[in-house]
Amino acid sequence: MQQQAALAYQQTAKKTASPRELEASLLSKSAAQLQRIRDDWDNKKPELDGALTYNRKLWTVFMTSVTSDENPLPTLIKQNVANLGIFVMNHTMSTLANPEARKLDVLININKELAAGLRTQQNQDEAPKGTHPAL
């Protein structure tokens, strides 16, 4: 029952959230999963593979989307996101091959920073002209 409610909420959020907010939420979710594992490494290490798989799938979608011809972003931004995605993929594989709690820090930070940047951009896009969004 609770799972159905969560699924219904997620479906509604997907329909009402902007693409940037949805991306920021997914990145934050992945960062939180990785952070929980990092914080309780001895007990949560068995969850590492699933959390890294989720993060890898998320970044695969980002990289595919950002590199598509239909994506309106400037070429430099597209290249930067793609390069960051390649780094995330390589670091993920390294972490899977030789798991260490400290290796999660970089993935957590990248996801948090990108989510924060997406939210900041969203706020700036929604702010009335001549005003500045709250920091």
Structural domain includes residue 93: yes
Structural domain includes residue 1: no
Q: Where are the alpha helices (DSSP H) in the chain?
A: 2-16, 19-39, 41-44, 48-66, 75-97, 104-126
Average pLDDT, the chain: 84
Within 10 Å of residue 18's Cβ, how many Cβ atoms?
A: 12
Question: CA 52, CA 9: separation in Å to the nearest integer?
Answer: 24
Among the residue ranges 65-74, 97-106, 120-129, the one predicted with the least confidence is 120-129
Q: What percent of the chain has pLDDT over 70?
A: 76
DSSP secondary structure string for all residues of 7-32: HHHHHHHHHHS-HHHHHHHHHHHHHH
Residue 65 sits in a domain of what CATH number? 1.20.120.340
The string of pLDDT tens digits covering residues 19-53 is: 888 989 999 999 999 999 999 999 999 999 999 99
- The residues, any chain, with a CB within 8 Å of residue 94's CB and separated by 6 or more, are 103
pLDDT at 56: 96
pLDDT at 49: 97
Nearest to 34 by CA among 114, 110, 120: 110
Q: Report the number of distinct structural domains present in the chain.
A: 1
What pLDDT band is residue 104 in, cutting at 50, 70 and 90? very high
Host domain of residue 44: 18-125
pLDDT at 7: 56
